[in-house]
Amino acid sequence: MPRRSASASSSDAQCPASWRLYIAAAVARENQMATIDASPAPVTGDPPAVTSPSAGGPGDRLAHRLNPVFRKGILLATHNRPVASFVRRYGMRLGAGNFVAGTTLDEAVVNLHRLSGLGLRTNTTILGEAIRDQAAVERVVQSYVGVLDRIAAEGLNTNLAVKLTQLGLDLDEDTAYTNVEQLVIHAASHGNFVRIDMEEFGRVDGTLRIYQRLRAAGHVNVGTVLQSYLYRTGADLEGLAPLEPNLRLVKGAYLESPTVSYPKKSEIDASYLRLAERMLAVDSFTAIATHDERLIDHVIRYTEANAIPRDRFEFQMLYGIRPALQQELAKRGYRVLVATPFGPDWYFFYMRRLAERPANVLNFARSLFRPS
Ligand SMILES: Cc1cc2nc3c(=O)[nH]c(=O)nc-3n(C[C@H](O)[C@H](O)[C@H](O)COP(=O)(O)OP(=O)(O)OC[C@H]3O[C@@H](n4cnc5c(N)ncnc54)[C@H](O)[C@@H]3O)c2cc1C
């Protein structure tokens, strides 16, 4: 679809009232967030109540209420063919490039060096998931071996984050195990580290089994991820605790049923804080992966109050999201890692970023209607 210009009145005519309300709310929220990101992270004063909705004005509150609806809509639309082909065709030009460090390793390396120059650690991922073709899986494994070699040759402080469905989990668990073990061994030969991302609920058991197998086989340069939106995560954490695991804690990015996950943001946030405190007590290393300043603020206070050394945890954020906050925390002496993915297969990753913050859809739509 070619870009076209649209006057306010014509776009109003095509835009249902609920969308107009949402867009107005999203703009208000976006403006507020832009201001926050431009200023130092507020990490002093009383801890904010994480159970309350966002503390903005009426626009912010409306966006807050509508976000779960739009999040679900975007995640459902991800598997719609016309949506997929449209976004795949125009997405990189219209916004995906803000979240992806390039389509090639060479482009990603430039950004990895740039982030390193800002005092930020990085990880990288070759975008792609849910591969069900043996030959394609083998190509991914070889590509990751090349990425590890390149990281070493460039002298980058960058580790790997991999998805098991890209390494054969949907073919069978042993294939995924063998492939990820090959990468963990190769990473160890360079003194590097591999983190196994967490995917949908149906993959949690398989992912945790593979992580436990790797640890049982004596590999220590490997970690995984737990999601605070799942009811089961507290029990999973206790199950892993004896391993003194290296864990990343996230809220969770997939569309899950309320039978297995907290439906409300306030509950997900409260779960995040409970899990973060427990992880900091049992982990060998905890990665606090969120852009949510209330949670970051709480973790800073908690680690200070409990004398948890700064080399036992780090903050992790995604490439292109809250960059000022990333640098502010790094300047204050905290370890900050920026997850910096690359590759041509960015579609699912980008759709999850749109779903996390539906105002990003607004940016996408604005680009579409911007006169060329
Ligand atoms: C390093 C890292 C690794 C991750 N790995 C996984 C994983 O393995 N498995 C998994 O399920 N999920 C993963 N996620 C995604 C995670 O589950 C959340 O979906 C994502 O982090 C958004 O939640 P939040 O904690 O930032 O809080 P939110 O409440 O969603 O966001 C807080 C604030 O952050 C900003 N923000 C958040 N998302 C965006 C966005 N997309 N665009 C612009 N601004 C945004 C906004 O200002 C927002 O108000 C990862 C996230 C990070 C940072």
Ligand 1 pocket residues where CB is under 6 Å: 33, 197-198, 225, 227, 250-254, 289-292, 316-318, 321-322, 339, 353, 356-357, 360
Question: What is the CATH architecture assignment of 102-345?
Answer: Alpha-Beta Barrel (3.20)
| Ligand 1 centroid, distance to 318 Cα (angstroms) | 7
Q: Distance of CA 208 to CAs 159, 199, 256, 345, Å?
A: 20, 11, 18, 25
What are 228-266's pLDDT values in tens digits? Answer: 999 999 999 999 999 999 999 999 999 999 999 999 999
Q: Is the predicted pLDDT of residue 327 greater than 80, yes or no? A: yes
Please answer whether residues 195 and 224 qualify as being in contact, where contact means their C-beta atoms are separated by less than 8 angstroms: yes
- Using the atom order of ligand 1, give the atom closest to the CA of residue 295: 25
- Using the atom order of ligand 1, give the atom closest to the CA of residue 54: 49
- Using the atom order of ligand 1, give the atom closest to the CA of residue 272: 25
Q: Is the predicted pLDDT of residue 58 greater than 60, yes or no? A: no
Q: Is the predicted pLDDT of residue 18 greater than 60, yes or no? A: no
Of 123-127, 209-213, 353-357, the least confident? 353-357
| Ligand 1 centroid, distance to 43 Cα (angstroms) | 19
Q: What percent of the chain has pLDDT over 70?
A: 81
- Nearest CA residue ID for atom 8, ligand 1: 197
Read off the amino acid at residue 272: Y
Map tokens 């405190």 to a residue. Answer: 277
For the chain, which residues make up each domain, given as ranges? Answer: 6-96+351-368, 102-345
Instruction: Compute the distance between CA of residue 104 and CA of residue 272 in angstroms, rounded to an integer.
Output: 34
In this structure, what token pair is assigned to residue 219? 């590999």
Instruction: Compute the distance between CA of residue 284 and CA of residue 240 in angstroms, rounded to an integer.
Output: 11
Q: Is the predicted pLDDT of residue 20 greater than 90, yes or no? A: no
Catalytic residues: 197, 248
Task: Name the average pLDDT for the chain.
Answer: 85
- Residue 252's Cβ-count burial label (10 Å; 0-12, 13-18, 19+) is buried
What are 253-310's pLDDT values in tens digits? Answer: 999 999 999 999 999 999 999 999 999 998 789 999 999 999 999 999 999 999 999 9
Pseudo-torsion of CA 344, 155, 145, 349, nearest 10°?
Answer: -30
Map tokens 């990490």 to a residue. Answer: 43
Please answer whether residues 244 and 272 qualify as being in contact, where contact means their C-beta atoms are separated by less than 8 angstroms: no
| Ligand 1 centroid, distance to 5 Cα (angstroms) | 32
- Nearest CA residue ID for atom 19, ligand 1: 253
User: At a CB cut-off of 8 Å and minimum separation 6, what does 15 contact?
Assistant: 23
* E-state strands within the chain: 121-124, 158-162, 194-196, 222-227, 246-250, 285-289, 313-318, 336-339
- The pTM assigned to this predicted structure is 0.85
Q: Is the predicted pLDDT of residue 55 greater than 70, yes or no? A: no
- Nearest CA residue ID for atom 3, ligand 1: 289
- Nearest CA residue ID for atom 42, ligand 1: 357
Average pLDDT over residues 129-139: 94
